[in-house]
Amino acid sequence: MTNFSIENFQKMLFSNKKYENELDKERHARIINTKREIIGVSMANIRKIAKTISKENCQEFLEFSKTRNFLDEYYEEILIEGLVIANLKDFENMTNNLSWWLEKIDSWAFVDSVCSTMKNLKNYQDEKYFDYFYNLCYSNQEFISRFGIISIMCNYLNEKYIDRIIYMCKNVANDAFYVQMGIAWLVSVCFVKFREKTFELIKSKTLPKFVQNKSISKCHDSYRVKREDKELLKKFRK
């Protein structure tokens, strides 16, 4: 795809439409929970399209997207933008593009799909790179905050940062649903990787009630948590 236009791009997306009836499309839309119109392209095809763009003409695509702002109508369009950004190998280039893309997102699906794609972050473990995502966690915008939380969970959950991560889990004041769900998910993964430190956090009951109980629930559902620990954590429900 070398000549970008809204007509050509949307035509290509509609040619990959997955759902043949409106009922399936509506079910998909309820799960994603976005205000954007959904075409109904499978995630496999969305990733395939984003990968092709990333290889062939990534910068042209992103410049056109940013300056013309044409990818605003459909969920799949914005998701492909995010996936192309996630494939960028240069951190500064990636974060510069994230700055305008993050303002568009309104669903957990944008966040989780893109965060899990940012494989190049393994090369960017210095504190200044961690700080970029850490600061996003404190955003008062629901999905920007979740983006920071899930990015850290996917890429920075290690010995170097665990103390700051636990501090953040206790101190993010944003009580939006998908922020608190993100923190609970993060806490449950922290428990798997750093049991003692995370157990102290849960035992202290300093997390908001919803986050505390959901964290314990997610630990209970995890096959990576021992049965005896699952029973122990139940004692600390609020």
The string of pLDDT tens digits covering residues 88-122 is 999 999 999 999 999 999 999 999 999 999 988 98
Task: Give the end-to-end CA distance of the chain in Å, rounded to a whole number.
Answer: 54
pTM, entire model: 0.92
The string of pLDDT tens digits covering residues 134-166 is 999 999 999 999 999 999 999 999 999 999 999
CA dist., res. 66 & res. 133, Å (int): 21
Q: ∠ at Cα 116 (114, 117), nearest 5°?
A: 65
